[in-house]
Amino acid sequence: MTLFSFLQKRSSAPVARERLQILLAHERAIAGKSDLVAVLQEEILTVIAKHVTVEREKVQIKLDRGSPVSTLEIGIEMPTPVVVPN
């Protein structure tokens, strides 16, 4: 009986290990990238502010990681007429 159930039941630790390896590979990649988005947002804001007056929350940056390509989406809502800072 013991032997039979042993054959039937696959040990769960290898499954745990595999799931963790896949998950953490993904999460480690994201952890680095989310900082990248914040840095890009700040720098893009600075560049735009030099030429046009925009509100901070009107600059949206989105990074979509996909395979085979990832996309960086930058949405900037500008007031009309365009206000040029002095």
Q: Which has the closest alpha carbon to 45: 35, 57, 34, 33? A: 57
Identify any residues that bridge with 60 across adjacent strands, giving them in sequence order: 75
Q: Which has the closest alpha carbon to 57: 77, 85, 34? A: 77
24 binds another protein (CB under 8 A): yes
CB-wise, 9 or 50, nearer to another protein?
A: 9
Structure token digits, residue 56: 């901070």
Which of the stretches 9-17, 48-56, 59-67, 69-77 binds another protein when contact is defined by CB under 8 A? 9-17
26 binds another protein (CB under 8 A): no
In angstroms, the Cα distances linking 26 to 3, 18, 47 are: 38, 13, 31
21 binds another protein (CB under 8 A): yes
CB-wise, 13 or 84, nearer to another protein?
A: 13
Summarize as ranges the residues that interact with another protein (CB under 8 A).
11-14, 16-17, 19-21, 23-24, 27-28, 31
